[in-house]
Structures are given as structure tokens and as C-alpha cells.
């Protein structure tokens, strides 16, 4: 069964910036099904390589949309409203680094109409701005929704594994909607209008549990990073013919921008 790529279970409640950090992806399933997901088959990122990466204390990832907003997955949050319980860790590869920057949340905005089937995005507003770190622009057209993408996170490095201390990265190729929805892959489960698949038919490289909400991104025509996806779900991690499934950011770009403006970001 498909599983969200949020890190759940006994460790989730105790997740702290000092102890957790592996890239993982999740799929729509019950907590009982959830296995650890991280960037499987990747390598450790270098300090400063992806300054927009954010680790969230509930066991998810995210990206700096602005100095006060983090873009993540809807399934990582409980709903829209005041929320002061989330800690965001920013600016480091090593979650235990003394130079890490942390901010508490003060509000969460979850995609309107989210019910666990598509629309998997949310914005977390930070209690105070972070400065000196690059934000990650989102794709506003489908121009960059194909090709080769970069994924990164602190989720599990293998299916069922633990969260990572150091940020990991990998590259994955685009998989067409038709291929991803074929009987050999997800057999019609993909929402073609607003989800993107990426991965290798042979498996081996993928996001995993703990990577949910993190960005999938690539270079644009100006060689700058642009976010095209949000880690959402998948069947296990890095299994053959089971690519990762990501929220298609370009489809929601205008709605995300409007929500960000309403939050002052």
C-alpha cells in the first residue's frame, strides 16, 4: 500500500533538531503502515549547497518560500490555524551543528479542501524572519516539470530506516503521468493534473519516510534553482517500478502565492 513520507511512530513525538535528520517520502496510508523514508541512494550534501532546506520538528522537510514562510506538505500538518508547536531548523546540513538557526511557528495554512487525495501542500509561518538564507522560488508554469530533478532531505536512507543527522541529496528523472499510472506502476492512483512522478524503473534512488514536505527542484533557464515538486507519497522507498510521487507545484502556484500574501509573506 502507498505510504506518506512523513516520519511517524514512537520517535516522531521526540523528534528534535539535535537528534533527527534523514530524507524520506510518504504515501497516503495509515500510521500503522508507515515505514521510514529518506533520500535513498543519495549522498551527503555540502554545507551551504541548498540553503533553502528546512527540517521540521514533526518529522517532515520543507523549503524557505520567504523569510517568514516554509512550504511543506499538507499531510505534515493538522489543519489551518494558529500553531506554535513546530520548530523549523534552517541553515545547516548537520542538524546538530552549533550554527543551526531555529524558529518556532505561529500559524499554519493547509491547502483548502485537502482531504488526503491531492492538494498536498501547506505553508508554515515563522514567528520571526530568517535572514541571510536563499529562498526557493516555485515554478509558475509547467516549463520545468520534466527533465532531471534534485531531491534532498533528512529522511530515512533505506525503507524502514531511521532519520538522518546529515542532509542527503540525489537526482531522479521525470516519469510521465501515463507511465506512472500504468498497471506496472501505480495503476491509475496518480492525479495527473497535480502530481508528478520521478524515479528510476529499477528503483534504488528515492525520497523516503521523513522527507515528506521537502522540495524537488531543478535549474531554470537562468541556472537558478526552482521548486517543481513537494515530497508527498510513494509505495515504500526506492522499490522497482514505484517512483516517488510529488505535489506538482506549478499547478498550485497562484493559490500558494495568494495564501502567502495573506500570511504577510
| Nearest Cα residue to 4 out of 191, 206, 164, 209 | 209
Q: How far apart are CA 72 and CA 76, in angstroms?
A: 7
86: Cβ–Cβ under 8 A, 6 or more apart, which residues? 56, 57, 58, 77, 104, 105, 108, 124
The active-site residue, picked from 66, 105, 212, 232, is 212
Q: Count CB-CB contacts under 10 A for residue 175.
A: 24
Q: Where are the beta strands (DSSP E) in the chain?
A: 3-5, 26-27, 43-44, 53-56, 60-64, 69-72, 81-82, 87-90, 101-110, 122-126, 148-153, 168-175, 195-198, 215-219, 225-234, 244-248
Whether residue 262 lies in the annotated active site: no
The active-site residue, picked from 120, 145, 211, 235, is 120
The active-site residue, picked from 27, 75, 145, 250, is 75
Q: How far apart are CA 193 and CA 179, in angstroms?
A: 14
Whether residue 75 lies in the annotated active site: yes
Whether residue 211 lies in the annotated active site: no
List active site positions: 75, 120, 212
Amino acid at each position: 500500500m502507498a505510504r506518506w513520507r512523513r516520519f511517524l511512530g514512537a520517535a516522531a513525538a521526540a523528534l528534535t533538531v539535535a537528534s533527527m535528520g534523514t530524507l524520506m517520502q510518504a504515501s497516503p496510508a495509515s500510521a500503522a503502515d508507515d515505514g521510514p523514508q529518506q533520500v535513498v541512494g543519495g549522498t551527503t550534501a555540502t554545507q551551504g549547497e541548498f540553503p533553502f532546506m528546512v527540517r521540521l520538528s514533526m518529522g517532515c522537510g520543507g523549503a524557505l518560500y520567504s523569510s517568514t514562510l516554509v512550504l511543506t506538505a499538507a499531510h505534515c500538518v493538522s489543519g489551518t490555524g494558529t500553531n506554535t508547536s513546530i520548530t523549523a531548523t534552517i541553515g545547516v546540513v548537520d542538524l546538530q551543528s552549533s550554527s543551526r538557526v531555529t524558529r518556532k511557528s505561529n500559524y499554519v495554512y493547509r491547502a483548502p479542501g485537502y482531504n488526503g487525495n491531492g492538494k498536498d501542500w501547506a505553508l508554515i509561518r515563522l514567528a520571526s524572519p530568517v535572514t541571510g538564507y536563499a529562498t526557493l522560488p516555485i515554478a509558475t508554469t509547467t516549463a520545468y516539470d520534466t527533465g532531471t530533478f534534485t531531491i534532498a532531505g533528512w529522511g530515512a536512507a533505506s525503507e524502514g530506516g531511521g532519520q538522518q543527522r546529515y542532509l542527503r541529496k540525489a537526482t531522479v528523472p521525470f516519469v510521465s503521468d501515463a507511465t506512472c499510472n500504468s498497471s506496472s506502476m501505480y495503476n491509475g492512483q496518480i492525479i495527473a493534473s497535480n502530481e508528478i512522478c520521478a524515479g528510476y524503473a529499477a528503483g534504488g534512488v528515492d525520497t523516503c519516510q521523513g522527507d515528506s514536505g521537502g522540495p524537488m527542484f531543478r535549474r531554470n533557464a537562468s541556472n537558478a534553482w526552482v521548486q517543481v515538486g513537494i515530497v508527498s507519497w510513494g509505495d515504500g522507498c526506492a522499490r522497482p517500478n514505484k517512483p516517488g510521487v510529488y505535489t506538482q507545484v506549478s499547478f498550485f502556484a497562484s493559490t500558494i502565492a495568494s495564501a502567502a500574501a495573506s500570511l504577510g509573506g
